Amino acid sequence: MKTDHLIDVLARGAGPAEKPRWGGKLAITVIAGLLVAALLVAIGLGVRPDIGAARMPVMMKAMFAALAAAVVLPLAVQLMQPGRPLGWRIGAVLAFLAICAGAVFIALMGEMPERRWEAWMGGAVPWCVVLIPILATPTSALLLWLMRAFAPTRLALLGAAIGAFSGGVGAMAYAMYCPTDSVAFVVTWYVLGIAVSAALGAVVGARVLRW
């Protein structure tokens, strides 16, 4: 039997290829990572005792973290499939960082000079730079496992995008514990915590995403 004829026989009756339903898997993965991070906060750190009275600042911090994750998500989705152009997605991340820098400057200028350092540092060591990457780990691990199946080619860059997105998810959970509500503190140190997550994701992703 000739090769062309064999191919025709095998293809006969084959329907159209089913599109991968990765959107639902991605949503489940993110929700699972957020729930695990929230559980780690509740068990390991503890929810801030005044969370009832401070629910609005907590919600605002969580929304800022969610926004940071949402800005990175299109980049991560584009990178997980080989050969896709990045286009505006890189620009969106850079624009977000520029807006954050402007927000910190405006917030600090609005404080009395003697209070600027406290408003920026939160009056203590900004542990969120360490804790946010830790809380990002569940989401990062799940996303690395999910996106590896798509045979990506830009491994370090995808790992950084996964780490940054997971850092945003981790920061959402961290907001339940974070005792500092000043804009300058949250924008500066949450973004730096997400940046640390991105750097770690680039290192890990370059190894784990190989196929």
User: Is residue 77 domain-resident?
Assistant: yes
Looking at the domain assignment, is residue 18 inside a domain?
no
Reply yes or no on whether the pLDDT at 18 is more than 50.
no
The boundaries of the domain holding residue 189 are: 23-208
Q: What is the pLDDT of residues 27-79, one digit of tens each?
A: 999 999 999 999 999 999 999 998 888 889 999 999 999 999 999 999 999 99
* Distance from C-alpha of 166 to C-alpha of 163, rounded to nearest angstrom: 5
| pLDDT of res. 114 | 86
pTM of this structure: 0.86
- Total of domains in the chain: 1
The pLDDT, as a whole number, for residue 201 is 95
Residue 9 lies in a domain: no
Closest Cα to residue 201, out of 109, 149, 113, 136?
136
Tens digits of residue pLDDT in 170-209:
999 999 999 988 999 999 999 999 999 999 999 998 888 8
In a domain, 8, yes or no: no
